[in-house]
Structure 1
Amino acid sequence: MSNPNVETVTSASDRVKVGLALACVVAGIAGYYALPTSPTIARVGVIFLGLALAIAIAMFSEPGRRFISFGRDAYSETRKVVWPTRKETVTTTAAVFAFAVIMALFLWITDKSIEWVLYDLILGWK
């Protein structure tokens, strides 16, 4: 069952706007490679100009507005996250490192024990 609040059909004008936005991005990248003798700042500026035009065009389409709304919602959700303190991060990292070292020792001891049983006791190889 579909959500009636979400419009899944995009109009022809929205498709054209998104296509133009993609064309601007491609043109910016093509411009970067078309100017090999220009200063790097100019070449990078062409890419940013293409991206800025693409964003400006996409903002006027329904998919672009939905994407911007999604970005705002995602940003507000990240502000709600309770990030760990430095002490919590260091403590957790130390615990993970200690577990990895203990596990490595356990696996090494297990490997050497199986090797000893197989090669020395059962097969008699020395």
Structure 2
Amino acid sequence: MATSQVETVTTGADKAKLFAAVAIVLASIAGFYLLGKQGPLIQWGVLLLGLVLAVAVFLVSEHGRQFVGFASDAWREVKKVVWPTRKETLQMTGYVFAFVVVMALFLWFTDKTLEWVLYDLILGWRK
């Protein structure tokens, strides 16, 4: 089953909207630092207002509408997920811890065995 991808052509207006959104973000960051003497309330107000305005400009562009569509589709898929119960979660966590302990013991035993074979039997360093 072949799916076809539909690509939309970005118009000059959409490019201008994206450029404007980036410019607004940069201007709000610059305003935050330039208004340092006005107090933190003014600084944060300018920054937050600029960011909200930039998001609004972005959302009216074609890329913004595609992002909103993607986000709504992703949220719809997340709602379909069947999450494990508390009991299942605790059981799986127990299995993982038990596996970690068994692997740690196995690796320790393997390390000590190789150490004994190499240093005691082959090289004879420990006598």
TM-score (norm 1): 0.86
Q: Which letter does structure 1 place at the counterpart of 2:12?
A: A
User: Cα deviations across residues 82-119 of structure 1 (Å, max 9, x unaligned)?
Assistant: 11122222211121121111101100110000000110
- How many equivalent pairs are there? 124
Segments of 5+ residues of structure 1 without an aligned counterpart are none
C-alpha separation in 1, matches of 2:15 and 2:74: 25
Q: What's the secondary structure of 2:20's corresponding residue?
A: helix
CA displacement at 1:2 relative to structure 2: 9.0
C-alpha separation in 1, matches of 2:58 and 2:17: 6
User: Identity of aligned pairs, percent?
Assistant: 54
- Cross-structure match for 2:60: 60
- Cross-structure match for 2:105: 105
Q: Which letter does structure 2 place at the counterpart of 1:63?
A: H
Segments of 5+ residues of structure 2 without an aligned counterpart are none
- Cross-structure match for 1:79: 79
Q: Which letter does structure 1 place at the counterpart of 2:72?
A: R
C-alpha separation in 2, matches of 1:25 and 1:51: 6
User: CA 1:17–1:97 in 2, change beyond 3 Å: closer, same or farther?
Assistant: same
TM-score (norm 2): 0.85
Q: How does 1:107-126 map to 2 (within 5 A)?
A: 107-126=107-126
